[in-house]
Each structure stands twice: as structure tokens, then as C-alpha cells.
Chain A
């Protein structure tokens, strides 16, 4: 997995609550049997017009969001299905962090497996970030933020800085890009002991 230490990038402001996984990656694109190549289908039904062209009104298609790698959204981001295709699509499109007041649990967990940090901030802070992103866009520019996973802070270069909390184990795995199956397999003896204590036959080799 790609490690995550610190990242500075352009913010895409998606001013919507309850963005569900069916919007992040519609079901017609779940039939691939690879983990890669989903970025082209991200937000497909919102991003593209019926003729296949980009919808210029959609938030990610606006000039302010060109090249964005930090996604800013409203509460309950990633609700709906367990499909890891949603973080695969976001990561493949280029996002390294998602900031929202709240996230759906399964989506939140899935992010960590894909080198992407989901960051929970207070609703008021998220409001402030939307204002700052809108001000930058109104001035014809782009809004940038820095996510520092070592220090657990998000900041911009105009005085905004907040710390966020993340499970220490998940954080360590992300910082080091660890294979968590490999880590868990170090506990094979304990797993075997649990199975034996619960009357299950031993697993061979």
C-alpha cells in the first residue's frame, strides 16, 4: 500500500450531504475484476452529460477543482454499500484525503486500506473550509490544504489549522504503508489457540 505521511493538494468542494457509494461509483462499473482503473468512472452520473461530455456545472469539473487531491464534503459521506470500488475510484482519480463532518463506517474503514485518509472535522470547521474554497474560486484561483498524518493536522496557508483524530493503529499502518494481512498473520498462533479452545479442528500447514 502507498504510505501516507503528509500531502498538500488542491481542494475540490462537493457541497452535498449523504453522498452515497452509488454516486461515487455507479453499479454498472462494479463488474471489473481488478482493483485499478475505476477513476474514470468516479461520480459518473454527476460528472458526465448524456452525450458523454463533462458536465461543466458539476463541482469536480469546475476550474477551481482541476487537479484536486483533497475532497471536501458534507456529512455522512460514503453511506450505502460496502463496495471498496468507491475508495478505489477516489484514489485512482487522484484523491489522497476526504474531509467531512461524518462518514459512513464501512467507507471510512475502506479508505485506510487504500492509502487515503478520511478526516472528520466539526461541522463549523467544514463550513469554514467551504467558505474559503468558495472565496478562492470566486477570485479565479484554487484552494490548497495540507494534511499531515504524522502530526494529525489539516491546515491551509491562511491561518486555518485543526487537529483530527485517527485510530493509532490505522495511522501507523498508513504512515508505513504496511500490509495488514501480513501483520495479522504474525498472530497465527493466537488464532489457532482460539480455534482449539472453541472446538474447531486444527488448520494444517
Chain B
């Protein structure tokens, strides 16, 4: 074992249960998060094999992907969505798993409620049948998405078969420029290392810029690690992390919390620890970002133009750009600020936390949504919604003409009724701009909450650095 170890090394070493000859190591899983879409077949598999959930108390479930964001007192209109949510409820009851159900005050997007309730803690291994599980790495845990067969494996054994991933340090030096947010940083990084730049790796984000981010901004960065192809993303825990966790419902309390902090303080990578790869970026180079294509690496600054596909040297990149521009209904050379919008979506596990809503509300305050735009805000959890309402943010949004909704994944993936119509163009604070992601034929541009809010007001993209705050 090397003497100087990375954060990843330390968590990995601590969780290897055994490495039997000729087999992949078994990694112990501390927390397993479950939602309605990727779990029914796993529970069914347990039932068919007569198996139990090994540690129900380490397993937490909530419905989020499918849930309506309209009035919760009304029945769910889509019978298949309802069946999936009913199935989750029945499975949780049968196997003894704690469920934050639709009518629970703490229901929300699984990656919002995990940290918020203190389920997520530094040094833990955390999995969920969802690729955005990397979000939890913001608190210094090793958290990654798994398939449904692996969900079943974790339920039955509390372990996972895993080869150790490689480590990739993405260092962002310098201070965050004004108007630039965590979302812009991570979109910029994906644009630089590509959608497969992180394949086979766990990213550790380091550097002054990352250290200066608040807890929720760190979650935004780690959340999108998968869009760079990475297995997971993580940030070393520090005083910001510990302050965030102190007093959270399911975090250690009192003396136990202090003891936990003493353990967590040993987690950050040792000086001189070696990463398999290191890439260094300067925060000063980052401007507010807008995606123009159909994957998150097809991104540029708000002050730039849509690229001409001919400028890509790589034939794969060129044909991808051509296909993307045709789908997006855009021509190379168009200024980003000249792109008009039909819809604005503020929400998703990337950007639906209270700091995101505060940032968006500060832009919107005193303005009206453009007559040509339909805009909605979907808080990430019941708690975020109540907090926002206590601060009067809901009134800021409603007064401006935004819809103010109940918590869920909503139009990030459009499994519920919140979808784009064909050719509708949307500024979205979510994480994927894939073809059809928000609705068949819909056109998604990924941006930060502040950029989305400003676009809602103007009806087209604007450079948030020029915004007149009221």
C-alpha cells in the first residue's frame, strides 16, 4: 500500500471486503438509494430467488423520476407511472426499506434528499440505480450509478463487484470570476475533456476555485461527472462539508458528530499522492456556458457563436456536430445571444437546491417572463420548496410569471407530464441535452440557474455578467 494515498484510495481500501482469486473484488456499500424506475425488477429478482435485503437500514427510497409536479392531492393521471410508484411502495413495505413517499414532507429528488437529510456522509460508498449518483461525491464520498442487476446485488449482499477505477485529478486554479457558477465550471470542463474523457476514472476536483465553492455548488460540479464519462466525481471534505452536515437528521449527532469529523478530517488526499492522470484549468478562462448541441460537451461561452461543424478536425466530432445542429435547428455562426427560447426549466438534481433558486430569483426579481416564453421552477425536494417559500422566493417567481411546482425530476427527463413539444427550444438547468431528452423533438440548451432565469426574462440568451439586478 503506498504511503501517500488519494481520497479515492482511502475510501476504496477501507471498503474492500475480499478479493477472491479469479474474481472481481467485493466492495462494501454503506448507503443504497432507490427510486421507482430502476428498482422494480431488482426487488422482483429478490422475490423470485427467495432473498432478503441484507441491510434495510442502509437503504433509502423515494419516488422522483415519474412523479407529477402538479397538485399532490390529485391522483396520478398516468396509470403506468402510478403502477411504478405503487410498486415501489409495496416493495419498500415488503422488504422493510424506509420510503420518503409522495406525501412525505421530505420527498424529493434522490440526489437532493440524500445530502439534505444527512444520509450522505464523507468517506462512505454510496450507490443508486441512477447515473447522477456522483452528486454525493461532493461531500467526500465515493458515489456512483449502477444498473438494475447491480441494484439487486447490493440489496442482497450490501456489496458490489467492482474493479478499482483509475483516478483523475481535475484541478481548477484561481478564483471564480463574477457571474460564473459551478454549472459553468463543470460544463467548461466537460467541453474540454469530452463526454468520454473520464471513462474508467473517478474524478477528484481540486484547486482554489473548487475549494471556494459552497456545498450545493460542489454538488452541481460532481453531479455532472457522468457527462464526462467518469464513474464518479468527488471533492475532499473540509470545514464547509462539516458545517453543512452538522445537525442534519440522519448525520451523527453531538459527540458522535465530533468523533466523525475527526475521522473525516483524515480523508483528503495526502500530499504527494499520485493520480493516474492530472489536468489543470484556470477559473479565469471560464465564462457563462451554453450548450449548442446534443451532448454536454457541445458547449461554448455565451459570448461566442454556434460553431461551424467544418472546423472540427476529427470526423466523428464533425458528423456529430452536423447531426446536432440539424436536430437543434441551428446554423453555425449564429451568436448564442441571438438564440430565441420557448421554454425555461429551472430544476433537476443538478440545479434545484436552495442556493440555485436564490440565484435564479435574484435575477428574476422585479422582472417579468417574456411573453413568448413558458417558464417553470421545480424545487428539488419538499424541504427546498418550504425553505424557498419561507424566503418568499416562490412569490418572486410567481409574480414574474413562472410556474412554481412540487418536487421531482420533472422536465430534466420528461417521464412525467412535464415535457417539451417537438421543436420547442428550452433553456434548462438540467444535465443532459440529448436528442428527445426533454420530449421527442425538443431542443435543450444547458445553462446555470442565473443564465436560465435571465433567458426567461429576455426570451433569448443573455450574458448574465451584464445583468441589471433590481
Residue pair A191, B199 in contact (C-beta under 8 Å):
no
A40 lies within 8 A of chain B by Cβ: no
Contact B295 A30 (CB under 8 A): no
Is B80 a contact partner of A31 (Cβ separation < 8 A)? yes
Query: Quick one: which of A183, A184, A190 has the most chain B CB within 10 A?
Result: A184
* Contact A113 to B229, CB < 8 A, known contacts A18-B195, A22-B434, A105-B199: no
Say yes or no: A187 contacts B41, CB within 8 Å.
no
Task: Check A184 against B147 for contact (C-beta < 8 Å).
Answer: no
Q: Given A33-B87, A80-B432, A110-B147, do A169 and B23 touch, yes or no (CB 8 Å)?
A: yes
A82 engages B130 (CB within 8 Å): yes
With A23-B435, A27-B415, A194-B28: A113-B37 Cβ-Cβ less than 8 Å: no
Interface presence of A165 (CB below 8 A): no
Residue contact A20 to B295, C-beta cutoff 8 Å: yes
Q: Which segment of A54-62, A71-79, A155-163 sits at the interface?
A: A71-79
> What are the interface flags for A168-205 relative to B under an 8 Å C-beta threshold, 1 for contact and 0 otherwise?
11101000000111011101101100110010100100
Name the segment of B148-156, B267-275, B281-289 touching the other chain: B148-156
Set of chain A residues within 8 Å of B159, measured between Cβ atoms: 184, 187, 191
Instruction: Tell me whether B157 and A31 are in contact (CB under 8 A).
Output: no
Q: Does A67 contact B (CB under 8 A)?
A: no
Q: Does A16 contact B (CB under 8 A)?
A: yes
Contacts of B75 in A (CB 8 A): none
Answer whether residue A84 sits at the interface, using C-beta atoms and an 8 A cutoff: yes
Q: How many angstroms between the C-alpha atoms of A198 and B158 in the bound complex?
A: 14
Residue B161 at the A interface, CB < 8 A? yes
| B window 134-175: CB within 8 A of A | 145-150, 152-153, 156-159, 161, 163, 165
| A33 near B38: Cβ-Cβ < 8 Å | no
When distances are taken between beta carbons in the complex, the residues of chain A under 8 Å from B45 are 181
Contact with A along B28-49 (1 / 0, CB 8 A): 1000000001101100110001
Contact of A187 among B18, B163, B295 (CB under 8 A): B18
Contacts of B212 in A (CB 8 A): none
Contact of A102 among B196, B319, B413 (CB under 8 A): B196
Chain A nearest Cβ from B434, distance in angstroms:
4
CA of A189 to CA of B157 in the docked complex: distance in angstroms?
Answer: 11
Nearest chain A CB to B369 CB, angstrom units: 27
B195 neighbours in A (Cβ, 8 Å): 18, 76, 79
User: With a CB–CB cut-off of 8 A, which chain A residues contact B331?
Assistant: none
State in angstroms the CA–CA spacing of A105 and B38 once bound together. Answer: 17
- B157 near A106 with CB under 8 A, answer no
Are the CB atoms of B147 and A190 closer together than 8 Å?
Answer: no
Shortest CB distance B171–A (Å):
23
Interface residues of A in 19-54 (CB under 8 A from B): 20, 22-23, 26-28, 30-35, 45
Write out, one digit per residue, whether chain B residues 229-241 have a CB within 8 A of any chain A CB (1) or not (0).
Answer: 1010000000000
Whether A167 lies near B163 (C-beta < 8 A) is: yes
| Cross-chain contact B24 with A181 (CB below 8 angstroms) | no
Which A63-96 residues sit within 8 Å CB-CB of chain B? 74-76, 79-84, 87
Q: A31–B416 Cα gap in the complex (Å)?
A: 10
B295 touches A169 (CB 8 A): no
B80 touches A109 (CB 8 A): no
Q: Across the two chains, which residue of chain B brings its CB closest to A168?
A: B22
Decide: A18 and B24 in contact? CB cutoff 8 A: no
**Does chain B have a CB within 8 A of A104?**
yes
User: B84 near A27 (CB under 8 angstroms)?
Assistant: no
In the complex, what distance in Å separates the CA atom of A54 from the CA atom of B316? 26
**Residues of A contacting B437 in the complex (Cβ-Cβ under 8 angstroms):** 22, 27
Cβ-neighbour of B156 out of A16, A22, A27, A185 (below 8 A): A185
Given the complex of chains A and B, what is the CA–CA distance between A161 and B323 in angstroms?
32
Chain A CB within 10 Å, residue with most, of B66, B149, B432: B149
Interface pair B55/A190, CB less than 8 Å apart: no
Rounded to whole angstroms, the CA-CA distance of A105 and B198 in the bound complex is 10
> By the criterion of a CB under 8 Å from any partner CB, how many residues of chain B are at the interface?
67
Residues in B383-431 with C-beta less than 8 Å from chain A: 413-415
A33-B83, A79-B196 in contact; A17/B434 too (CB < 8 A)?
Answer: no
- Tell me, yes or no, whether B305 is within 8 Å of chain A by CB: no
Q: Please give, as numbers and ranges, the residues of chain B lying within 8 Å of A104 by CB-CB distance.
A: 196, 199, 229
Residues of B within 8 A of A103 (CB): 199
- Roughly how many angstroms separate A203 CA and B155 CA in the complex, as a whole number? 13
Would A191 and B26 count as touching, CB distance under 8 A? yes
- In the complex, which of the residues A17, A33, A190, A198 contacts B40, with contact meaning CB atoms closer than 8 Å? A33
The listed residue (A35, A74, A102, A179) touching B41 by CB distance below 8 A is: A35
Contact B23 A191 (CB under 8 A): no
Q: Give the docked Cα–Cα distance between A164 and B12 (Å).
A: 28
B320 touches A181 (CB 8 A): no
Smallest CB-CB separation from A26: which chain B residue?
B436
B161's partner among A16, A81, A180 (CB-CB below 8 A) is A180
Q: How far is the CB of B395 from chain A (nearest CB, A)?
A: 33
* A31 in complex: contacting residue of B54, B83, B434, CB < 8 Å: B83
User: In the complex the two chains form, is B161's CB within 8 Å of A172's CB?
Assistant: no
Residue B129 is within 8 A (CB to CB) of chain A in the complex: yes
**Contact across chains for A30 and B22 when beta carbons are under 8 A apart:** no
Identify which of residues 185-213 in chain B touch chain A, using a CB-to-CB cut-off of 8 Å.
195-196, 199-200
Residues A181 and B153 in contact, CB atoms below 8 Å apart: yes
Q: Hey, which chain A residues are within 8 Å of B199, CB to CB?
A: 76, 102-105
- Known A-B contacts A22-B436, A190-B18; A82 and B157 likewise in contact (beta carbons under 8 Å): no
Whether B440 and A26, one on each chain, are in contact in the complex, defined by CB atoms closer than 8 angstroms, is yes
B20 at the interface (CB under 8 A from A): yes
A-B pairs with beta carbons under 8 Å apart, 30 shown: A17-B317, A18-B196, A18-B320, A22-B413, A23-B435, A26-B440, A28-B415, A31-B83, A32-B80, A33-B40, A34-B41, A45-B435, A45-B440, A82-B145, A84-B38, A84-B147, A102-B199, A105-B165, A106-B145, A169-B22, A169-B23, A170-B24, A181-B49, A183-B23, A184-B26, A187-B18, A187-B157, A190-B18, A195-B28, A195-B158
The residues of A with any CB-CB pair to B shorter than 8 Å are: 16-18, 20, 22-23, 26-28, 30-35, 45, 74-76, 79-84, 87, 102-106, 109-110, 113-114, 167-170, 172, 179-181, 183-185, 187-188, 190-191, 194-195, 198, 200, 203
Minimum-distance CB pairs A-B, first 7 = A113-B149, A84-B147, A33-B40, A82-B145, A110-B147, A84-B148, A76-B196
